[in-house]
Chains A and B, each alone.
Chain A
Amino acid sequence: MGFTSQDDLITQLTVNGKGDTVVTTKTLAAAQLAGTWTLLAGHAGYPVAATFASGADLTYAPTDDTWSEGTIYTGGDVSTATKHFLSAGAAVVAAAGAPWYIMAIDLVGYVNLGAYTAGNVTSTGTKTITMTALGSGAGKGDRYPNGQGLRMFVAADTALGANAPTCIVNYKNTGGVSKATTTFTSTASMPVGALLNTGAAANKYNPFLPLAAGDTGVSDIESLVWAGTAHASGTVIIGLCKPLWIVPVPATGLYNKVDFVNALPSMRKIPDGANIQFLLFQTGATTSAGTVNVDFDYAYGG
C-alpha cells in the first residue's frame, strides 16, 4: 500500500527512512533538432550512456532496475509496499534549445533494429519482431499488467543517415488484439537519441506513437514496417515505456521543481523494477554538450 495520510507519509520518511533523493545528469553527445524529443539514455553522464546491447536484432529485450547499461537505483523492491514520486526538479544548461520539457518514463523494454543485423534500418519492408506478450503482472517484466498504459517510440540508437522513410509499428493492445499505430515520417540525419516519430512537421507525433482508437496500452510489439526510401545508415530502437511525469524548463540555467504530493492526481507509482529514463523536448536546437540535470524524491509506505 501507499500512505494513509500526510502524517503517515511524514512518519515513513522521517522516522522509518523509507525514501530518498535521486540526482542524475546527462550531457548531450550531439546537437539535437528543434521541435524533436530525445531519449537521454544513450548520452553520457549518470547513469552511464546506454548502448542498447541486447545481443540481437528484432528481439524484445525487457529492462528493469538491474539493467546493466545504466539505470537509476530507487531503493530496490518494496513490495508489498508501494513506492511513489514526491517531487521532481530539472535544469538544462545549453547555449540554445530553450524552452525544454523533460519527461520521466519507465522504460519497460526495447527492440534493436540494425545494431546486429544489417538491413533492418537500411532497407524497407516488414521487420518481424520476436516478443513474448506482457502478462498480467506476475513479474517485473510485466510490471504494467498486459501493457496497461504503455506507449511506444522509435529512437536513434546511433545517428541516422540520409532519407526519411515512413514507418508504422504493429502491436497487440492490452486485450491481445493486433493493432497498428498511425504512420509517421522519419527525418534524415537525426542525431543519437532523437525520436524519429517527433519533430515540427507533418506526420510527426510528439513523443509517442498514436495507438489505435480506444487502446490504452501495448502488450506485444509484432513488427515495424518501413516504406519509401530507407535510411542510408544508422540503428534504431523501438522503446516501450510508461510515461511518468513532466518538468518544464523555461530557459538555460533555470531550475524548476514540481510537487507531486499536493497536485492531483499525483504521486505516480514507481513499480518494483522500474527503469527510469528521461525524454527531452527542445523547442530550439539544443547544442551539443548541453547538460540536463534531473532530480526527484520518492518514498514508500506499508
Chain B
Amino acid sequence: MGFRNVSEYAAADEAGQVWVTGFRKAVASAATTTNAWIDYTYFSGSPPANFYASTPAKAAVIESDKGLRVPSVSPATQHVKNIMLMSAAASATSATNGRQQVCLADYLLYYPFIDTDAIGEEQTLDNTVTLPRYADKGGQVVAVAQSAASALGQFTFNYTNQDGVSGRVSQNNFTYIVAGGGQVVGASGAGASYNPFCYLQSGDTGVRSIESVTFSAAGGGLMCLVIVKPLLKTVVTQECRRTTTGNLESYGACNELSSIIHQAGAPRIQDGAVLGLFASGYAGSLASSVLSGVIETVWN
C-alpha cells in the first residue's frame, strides 16, 4: 500500500518495517575509461560478483544472491529509504575515483556472451525466460562487457517495446575499447559518448525482451545485454584516502540520498528485486577502487 503521509513513514520505521544492509564492491585492476560507465555487480565483494555466466545468447534472470539483499514484503510495498555511498581510493595518491554518477537499478534479465565480432550475422536470442518483474513496462538495456574489447564496434538489436510491440529496431549503438569485463560498452556518437543505456527506436521508453542482435562493425570482444529498471541516481563526490607523505591529509566524503527529503517520493522495490549499482567515473579510471555503502528500505 505504501505511505499516505510522513507519519506512516515514521511509524513503519518504529514498527521494524525497515531493513538495512551494507555492501562493498571492489573494482578489478583493469583500467576503466574516464566518463564511461561500469557495472558494479560484475566485481567481487559483498554481494559476490555477477559475471553473467550462463548459456550464451539465452535469457536468464540474475541470481538473487548477486543483488543487495532486501526482503520480500508482499502484500506491503517496499521503498528505498536511504542510501549512503563512499568510495575508497585505489591508493593514497589516487584521486581518480571521485566524481562518480551512480545509478541504483533492479537487474531484471540478461542475454550473455554476445559475440561482438559477428559482423552481419543476426544473433538470435532465446527468450524462454521472460522478465520476472516490470513485465508490463520493460526496462532499459545496458551493454556490459564480458571480456576486454579491442575495437570500436557497432550494433543494433531487435526487441519488443514497453507496449508489447515486437519488431522494434534500436538505433545504432557503439561499443568501444575496454581493458576488461564489467565495463558498460554502450556508446553513441562516434563511440565516445558513453551511455548507461542503449539507444532504442525513437519513441520507445522500455524493452520487454530482446529478440536478436546484429553487429555491423566488429567490437573485438564479448558483451551481455542486461535489462534493468533504474530506481534512483545519486553521486559519489570525493574519493576517500589519506596521503602518506607531506602534510598527511585526509580526503573523502559520504554521499547520502534520503527519500522524501532529497527527492519526491521513495522509489519502490518490487519483491524479488536484484538490486545493483552502475556508475561512471568522471575523474579517471575506477580500477581497484572500492565502493562501500549502506542501503535502508522501508515498507508499509
Residues of B with C-beta under 8 A to A248: 84, 86, 254, 256, 294
Asked if residues B45 and A206 are in contact (CB atoms below 8 Å), the reply is no
Asked if residues A283 and B88 are in contact (CB atoms below 8 Å), the reply is yes
Asked if residues B71 and A213 are in contact (CB atoms below 8 Å), the reply is yes
Residue of A nearest to B271 (CB): A213
Asked if residues B240 and A206 are in contact (CB atoms below 8 Å), the reply is no
Asked if residues A251 and B252 are in contact (CB atoms below 8 Å), the reply is yes
B16 interface residue per 8 A CB criterion: yes
Asked if residues B250 and A263 are in contact (CB atoms below 8 Å), the reply is no
Q: How far is the CA of A98 from the CA of B48 in the complex (A)?
A: 21
Asked if residues B6 and A264 are in contact (CB atoms below 8 Å), the reply is yes
Report which of B26, B65, B256, B292 forms a contact with A99, defined as CB distance below 8 A. B292
Asked if residues A205 and B258 are in contact (CB atoms below 8 Å), the reply is no
Asked if residues A284 and B88 are in contact (CB atoms below 8 Å), the reply is yes
Q: How far is the CA of A47 from the CA of B252 in the complex (A)?
A: 29
In the complex, what's the smallest C-beta–C-beta distance from A267 to chain B, in angstroms? 9
Most chain B CB within a 10 A radius of its CB, from A34, A174, A250, A281: A250
Q: How far is the CA of A256 from the CA of B65 in the complex (A)?
A: 32
A75 interface residue per 8 A CB criterion: no
In the complex, what's the smallest C-beta–C-beta distance from A223 to chain B, in angstroms? 22
Asked if residues B71 and A199 are in contact (CB atoms below 8 Å), the reply is no
In the complex, what's the smallest C-beta–C-beta distance from A33 to chain B, in angstroms? 11
Asked if residues A216 and B10 are in contact (CB atoms below 8 Å), the reply is no
Asked if residues B18 and A99 are in contact (CB atoms below 8 Å), the reply is no
Asked if residues B251 and A206 are in contact (CB atoms below 8 Å), the reply is no
A231 interface residue per 8 A CB criterion: no
Residues of A with C-beta under 8 A to B253: 250
Residues of B with C-beta under 8 A to A62: none
Asked if residues B260 and A35 are in contact (CB atoms below 8 Å), the reply is no
In the complex, what's the smallest C-beta–C-beta distance from B140 to chain A, in angstroms? 28
Asked if residues B294 and A254 are in contact (CB atoms below 8 Å), the reply is no
Interface string of A166-197 (1 = CB under 8 A from B): 00000000100000000000000000000000
Asked if residues B84 and A264 are in contact (CB atoms below 8 Å), the reply is no
Asked if residues A265 and B9 are in contact (CB atoms below 8 Å), the reply is yes
Identify which of residues 98-132 in chain A touch chain B, using a CB-to-CB cut-off of 8 Å.
Answer: 98-99, 101, 103
Residues of B with C-beta under 8 A to A256: 254
B134 interface residue per 8 A CB criterion: no
Q: How far is the CA of A250 from the CA of B98 in the complex (A)?
A: 12
Q: In terms of DSSP, what is the predominant structure of the interface of chain A?
A: loop
A37 interface residue per 8 A CB criterion: yes
Residues of B with C-beta under 8 A to A149: 14-16, 18
Residue of A nearest to B65 (CB): A202
B13 interface residue per 8 A CB criterion: yes
A210 interface residue per 8 A CB criterion: yes
Asked if residues B48 and A202 are in contact (CB atoms below 8 Å), the reply is yes
Residues of B with C-beta under 8 A to A216: 15-17
Asked if residues B46 and A251 are in contact (CB atoms below 8 Å), the reply is no
In the complex, what's the smallest C-beta–C-beta distance from B126 to chain A, in angstroms? 27
Interface string of B230-258 (1 = CB under 8 A from A): 00000000101110000000111110101
B73 interface residue per 8 A CB criterion: yes
Asked if residues A98 and B16 are in contact (CB atoms below 8 Å), the reply is no
Q: How far is the CA of A97 from the CA of B88 in the complex (A)?
A: 9
Residue of A nearest to B88 (CB): A283
Report which of B46, B69, B73, B88 forms a contact with A98, defined as CB distance below 8 A. B88
Q: How far is the CA of A37 from the CA of B21 in the complex (A)?
A: 11
Identify which of residues 12-28 in chain B touch chain A, using a CB-to-CB cut-off of 8 Å.
Answer: 13-18, 20-24, 26
Q: How far is the CA of A281 from the CA of B13 in the complex (A)?
A: 22
- With contacts A214-B73, A217-B16, A283-B86 known, is A98 near B242, CB below 8 A? yes
Q: How far is the CA of A214 from the CA of B78 in the complex (A)?
A: 11
Residues of B with C-beta under 8 A to A251: 240-242, 250-252
Q: How far is the CA of A217 from the CA of B276 in the complex (A)?
A: 26
B290 interface residue per 8 A CB criterion: yes
A253 interface residue per 8 A CB criterion: yes
Identify which of residues 238-297 in chain B touch chain A, using a CB-to-CB cut-off of 8 Å.
Answer: 238, 240-242, 250-254, 256, 258, 260-261, 290, 292, 294
Given A101-B294, A243-B18, A284-B88, 18 additional A-B pairs, CB 8 A: A98-B241, A99-B86, A99-B292, A101-B84, A201-B48, A202-B47, A213-B73, A214-B74, A216-B17, A250-B86, A250-B240, A250-B252, A251-B242, A252-B250, A253-B242, A264-B260, A265-B10, A283-B290
The 5 A-B residue pairs with the shortest CB-CB distance in the complex, in nearest-first order: A250-B252, A149-B16, A265-B10, A248-B254, A216-B16
Q: Interface residues, chain A, CB within 8 Å of chain B?
A: 34-35, 37, 98-99, 101, 103, 144, 148-150, 174, 198-208, 210-211, 213-214, 216-217, 243, 246, 248-254, 256, 263-265, 269, 281, 283-284
| 9 intermolecular pairs with C-beta atoms under 8 Å apart | A99-B254, A103-B20, A148-B16, A149-B16, A202-B48, A248-B294, A252-B242, A265-B13, A283-B88
